[in-house]
Amino acid sequence: MARAHDRYHRLPYGLDADEQLHLSQRTVALLKAAGYAVQHDPDFASHQVAFHDLTLGGQVANLARRIRDAEHSEDATAALTELVAPADGVLPATVEVLEAAAEFFAGLGADADPHHAARIRSLAEKIAVVTTEISAYRNALADRHTAHPLRPACIGVESTEREASVVCSCPPPSPPAPAVRRGR
């Protein structure tokens, strides 16, 4: 379900109390494993879950969703950090994968293998350069400390309101200005 400023999911009707508790605990554990901040009673999610339900590509695609939904530069910066972080970012890890693939090709012994290894190393170097450039943009965004003007946080609703966006009185964001076509 979607509301003015967020998305949410509800449990299906008809579940017994044990099923509701199990599904809710698993959801909290999965969200926390994926890196989301989840407010809950400390005893609620008592078990740890390895986050493997999404493919790596699905997890990376969630970074795009987080940036599209970001209301503040801090939110977008956090998602970009996961992409480019030197120790555990997606792109630096991709470079490692390509370097390992190049080593693998180099050791196979067929005539074309050294060429394949060199080409894969070249691709790894290009991704490393792109990572550096994206890191610079990420750092520039981190320095902004600003809310996105077209994605306002809900105002006019008490912070204690359980489902604030249902009663949110904020007007919807303005549509982008139409593109101006210039004559030839």
Please check the confidence at residue 87 and state whether its pLDDT lies above 50. Answer: yes
Supply the pLDDT for residue 15.
Answer: 77
Supply the pLDDT for residue 157.
Answer: 54
Supply the pLDDT for residue 121.
Answer: 98
pLDDT tens across 33-57, in order?
A: 666 777 777 766 655 655 555 678 8
Supply the pLDDT for residue 112.
Answer: 95
Supply the pLDDT for residue 104.
Answer: 96
Average pLDDT of the chain? Answer: 78
Supply the pLDDT for residue 57.
Answer: 84
pLDDT tens across 103-128, in order?
A: 999 999 999 999 999 999 999 999 99
Supply the pLDDT for residue 184.
Answer: 47
Q: Which pairs with CB-CB distance under 8 Å and at least 24 residues apart come from 89-96?
A: 89/131, 90/60, 90/63, 91/127, 91/130, 91/131, 91/134, 92/128, 92/131, 94/127, 95/124, 95/127, 95/128, 95/131
What's the pTM value of the predicted model, to 2 decimals?
0.58
HEC per residue, the chain: CECCCCECCCCCCCCCHHHHHHHHHHHHHHHHHCCCCCCCCCCCCCCCCCCCCCCHHHHHHHHHHHHHHCCEHHHHHHHHHHHHCCCCCHHHHHHHHHHHHHHHHHCCCCCCHHHHHHHHHHHHHHHHHHHHHHHHHHHHHHCCCCECCCCCCCCCCCCCCCCHHHCCCCCCCCCCCCCCCCCC
pLDDT tens across 129-141, in order?
A: 999 999 999 999 9
Contact predicate 72/79, CB 8 Å: no
